[in-house]
Amino acid sequence: MTCVICESHDKEISCVGQFWVRQCKECGIYGMPRDLVEHLEATDQRLNTERTKAFLLSRTQNQQPPWITLEDAEHHFLMEQA
């Protein structure tokens, strides 16, 4: 599959309900709800690679799971036009 963040090859680690956990060699392990992916597709947006990687790094440095929600993406300006 394709990484939602950097568009490199990644793999699905798990999918529980509407929540995906993925692993990318460039971005590491991250999780996101399906509604974020659907929002990106519906609005023709993508995640900004550098800002999203920095956001995930700050979460792990603060001992938080590397998850991205739609609210996080909006609040931290992680989305941009494709």
16-40 pLDDT, tens per residue?
A: 889 999 999 999 999 999 999 899 9
Q: Where are the domains of the chain?
A: 10-81
> Using an 8 Å Cβ cutoff, are 32 and 67 in contact?
yes
pTM as predicted: 0.88
Neighbour-count burial for 22-49, b at 16+ CB within 10 Å, e otherwise: bebeebeebbbbeebeeebeeeeebbbb
45-54 pLDDT, tens per residue?
A: 999 999 999 9
Count H helices and E strands in the chain, helices first. 3, 5
Among candidate residues 23, 38, 69, the one with its CA nearest the CA of residue 78: 69
Kindly tell me if the per-residue pLDDT of 7 is higher than 80. Answer: yes
Q: What is the pLDDT of residue 81?
A: 82
